[in-house]
Chain A
């Protein structure tokens, strides 16, 4: 329960961080809040050679609107996002999802981009990014590229981020008029990892439902607007297609039932709050 030895470097600019990443090679890791990485270190599931601490880089600590999206910097904490006064209006899905992210105590230090980088299949922030169709900026000492959510997260705890790259910013599309948003999840206790997490976006023509906690990454399905039995059938098919498994927290059957029941509920809620 103690990390393996590593070097530590606190940097004061993104350039410095990228230079250190380039020098550190494949075993260098970025740390911001540490809420995902530190448990991995304590369990020795991650054994980096050097930790590069970006938590004090002011230029990476921001929330700003940029052409139809809200951009969040790599050092911005989940608690900062929750306190952002535009959250309910601009990102209603995240406004609904944020209270489910860990606990008050962990959101105080955990970052938005850290959660995205960690890529836990049951995490709320990657699920919201997947269902809204957001994107992330990956920067290295030699260049920058932008990846869509579904290209970025490749599986359980894995992303397309390559050696030398840092996730510098995440963009969540802002709410559009005529769309409704809703989020819910089932966990053993408030703040625990979700057994199933669900995020819905509904407009006049389409229903989009994202599911976390079942497959190895958030999975999104889109339908034309469905009602009644047709919606139940669609949810049932989606529940089976997710390929859930039994584990200590729940059976695959229970997970499918949650997708069917809560899926219906979250879609109805999103419909009812369409602006």
Chain B
């Protein structure tokens, strides 16, 4: 790969939730800004912009990442998943999303997309976490509304009763 000049907007092409998308990015552009402002999705929320709050969490090639600590140019050619990928094509919420709804796992919803993407990766590795394990994992996200209680209930309920594999 040639050195990408700082003054030039480079084409970045990636697969976002199954669709190939392209946009322009200077090397310094964060993936969170690229997804929001270049591609136009609305789920990659920016809270702290230094990797603490977790609102911008997305999956890049299946690995969980803070989009605010990833450069758009680093995501060239990758597969990116955001919470837009969770609901079905006809806007039926996923079982995990329904569990969040049922147990009041969200209030303002700002942190929710990042948390759902973390859970998407985490529950593949750990399908039946204990409450302690789950709370430890959720410590990587800041939610100022719910106190996490609803989220924990939602995930434990989902893990117990899921039918989506």
Contact = CB atoms under 8 A, between A and B. Distances in A.
A35 B136 contact: no
Interface in A157-194: 189-191
Contact of A105 (B27, B57, B70): B57
**Taking each of A10, A99, A105, A109, which has the highest tally of chain B beta carbons within 10 Å of its own beta carbon?**
A105
A146 interface: no
A29 to B, nearest CB: 12
B51 interface: yes
A62 to B, nearest CB: 18
Contact of A42 (B2, B65, B68): B68
B4 A191 contact: no
B69 A34 contact: yes
Interface residues of A, number: 35
Contacts of A1: 49-50
Contact of A38 (B26, B33, B70, B73): B70
A9 B65 CA distance: 20
B66 A7 contact: no
**Interface residue tally of chain B, by bracket?**
35 or more
B74 A55 contact: yes
A50 interface: yes
A117 B33 CA distance: 27
Interface string B69-87: 1110110000000000000
A10 B64 contact: no
A41 B28 CA distance: 9
Contact residues of A: prevailing secondary structure: loop
B140 interface: yes
Contact of B136 (A4, A41, A190): A190
Given A6-B6, A9-B4, A104 B136 contact: yes
B70 A103 contact: no
Interface hub of B30, B121, B141 (most chain A Cβ within 10 A):
B30
A39 B69 contact: yes
A53 B64 CA distance: 18
B74 A53 contact: yes
Nearest to B59: A108
Contacts of B54: 103, 105
Nearest to A37: B69
Contacts of B50: 1, 38-39, 42-43
A190 B137 CA distance: 9
Contact of A7 (B6, B139, B140): B6
A43 B54 CA distance: 17
A103 B139 contact: yes
Interface in A1-16: 1-12
A202 B50 CA distance: 38
B5 A191 contact: no
Nearest to B69: A38
Contacts of B3: 7-9, 20, 50
13 contacts: A1-B50, A3-B28, A3-B30, A7-B5, A8-B6, A8-B71, A9-B1, A9-B2, A39-B50, A41-B28, A42-B69, A50-B3, A55-B74
Interface of A: 1-12, 20, 34-35, 38-39, 41-43, 50-51, 53, 55, 99, 102-106, 108-109, 189-191
Interface of B: 1-7, 26-28, 30, 33, 49-51, 54, 57, 63-66, 68-71, 73-74, 118, 121-122, 136-137, 139-141
6 A-B pairs closest in CB distance: A103-B140, A8-B27, A38-B69, A39-B50, A105-B140, A5-B6
Given A34-B69, A104-B64, A105-B66, 16 more contacts: A2-B30, A6-B6, A7-B3, A7-B5, A8-B73, A9-B3, A10-B1, A38-B68, A39-B69, A43-B50, A102-B140, A104-B122, A104-B137, A104-B140, A108-B65, A109-B66
